[in-house]
Every structure is written in structure tokens, then in C-alpha cells.
Amino acid sequence: MNHENFLKNIFSPTDFNTRELELILPKFKRVKFAKNAFLLQEGTTANHYWFVESGFVRSFVNDTDGNDISTDFYSEGDIVIDWPSFFLRTSTRENIQALSACVCWQLDFDSFQELFNGIETFREHGRRRLVSSYFALKNHSVSIIADQAKARYIHLLETKPHIVQNVAVKHIATYLGITKFSLSRIRKEISE
């Protein structure tokens, strides 16, 4: 997929006029990440964000025992960003890692600032993505507390079947707040 087609799906011509697209699209750089490469590591400041063209990415944190716990998964069309680190210019507590070979479109912080301050439509587009990400995070946090593990897995299966099909069970289990053995049992129950 070329620059124009992929990014025009992200920045829809129905939302952005031709002049705006001519200013926005060249600011993005197509980058490739090998499987297991880090897009962002704990303790650094996020200076970029990415749109995934192909491949799978996850974010995770290390708990107090040193176990990595998945906090989110990203695939084609998703924005990969550590919102607080990027906007507040603080060190991140998360790691963002490619689960497969990935192709992404990267925007650096200075270019983002230029577009954000100069194009109202870009600013509104970003605001909608931020709000959507916040709602997804809030819903996941509440689900971890209020829903049974099986219900959490079924929700993931219904909303992101491509993640369930392409991401290791151990990563999905930590995202759901359960052990991989519990997840295997749940998957067996569902398949029967």
C-alpha cells in the first residue's frame, strides 16, 4: 500500500480538504520494525506516534515482580501512542513492542505540534482519537474489576478477533488479567 492510500484511509478526504492533506501526509515517514523491536521503551519520552499499516504491536508494563503485563494491542489502522508521555513530555512507564514484523507511519512531536496548531481539522481528528482511546481504556479497566474472565475473553473475541488469532496466549492472558492456564480452560469451554 502506498503513502497516499494508507494515510488517506486514516485522514479521510471526507474530513480533510485537499490542501490540508497536502500539508499532513508528507509529515509522516514510513518505517519498518522487526519482530520484537521496541517502538518505545520504559524510561524514555515518546517523541513519535505511529499508525500501523501492517503487523501487530503490543504495549506492556512490568509489574513489581518483573512480569510483563500487556496493556493493549494494535493492528492495521490503529494509532500506537503513549498519550501521557507524548503530550506531557514525561518518561513513559510502558514499553511498546512489535509482535511481528510491522510497517508503520511515524509522526514526530515537532511535526505533530505544527499540524495540531495549524490545522483545526487535524486537531479535531486527534481529539476524537484521544477520547476514543480513553473510553476504551476506561471500559477495559472497569471490565477487569466487574466482569468474569470468560466475559472479558468473549468481548475481546467479538471486538478484536484478529488479535485473538495472531497474538500469543500468554500476552492475551495478561491483558485479560488471568493466567494462560485459565485462558486455555476458557477457550476450551467456548469451543465445546
For the stretch 9-48, pLDDT in tens is 888 867 889 899 999 999 999 999 999 999 999 999 999 9
Whether 11 and 28 have beta carbons less than 8 Å apart is answered as no
Whether the predicted pLDDT of 176 surpasses 90: yes
Name the residue among 57, 61, 60, 62 with its Cα closest to residue 73. 57
Q: What is the pLDDT of residue 1?
A: 47
pLDDT the model gives residue 9: 84
Look at residue 3 and tell me whether its pLDDT is greater than 70. no
Q: Is 10 helix (H, G, I), strand (E, B) or coil?
A: helix
Report residue 116 CA to chain centroid gap.
Answer: 20
Alpha-carbon span 108 to 93, nearest angstrom? 20
pLDDT at 80 over 60: yes
Per the confidence metrics, is the pTM higher than 0.85?
A: yes
- In sequence order, what are the beta bridge partners of 106? 29, 50
C-alpha cell at 167: 497474538
Averaged pLDDT for residues 49-54: 96
CB atoms within 10 A of CB 8: 15
Can you tell me the mean pLDDT for 57-74? 95
If pLDDT is split at 50, 70 and 90, which confidence band does 52 have?
very high
pLDDT at 98: 98
What DSSP letter does each residue of 100-132 carry, written as one string?
Answer: S-EEEEEEEHHHHHHHHHH-HHHHHHHHHHHHH
Mark 116-144 as b/e (b = at least 16 C-beta within 10 Å). Answer: beebeebeebbeebeeeeeeeeeebeebe
| Mean predicted confidence (pLDDT) in 67-94 | 95
Per-residue pLDDT at 4 exceeds 70: no
pLDDT in tens, 83-142: 999 999 999 999 999 999 999 999 999 999 999 999 999 999 989 989 999 999 899 999
Residue 7 near residue 15 (C-beta atoms within 8 A): no
Average pLDDT on 156-174 reads 93
CA 92 – CA 122 distance, rounded (Å)? 25
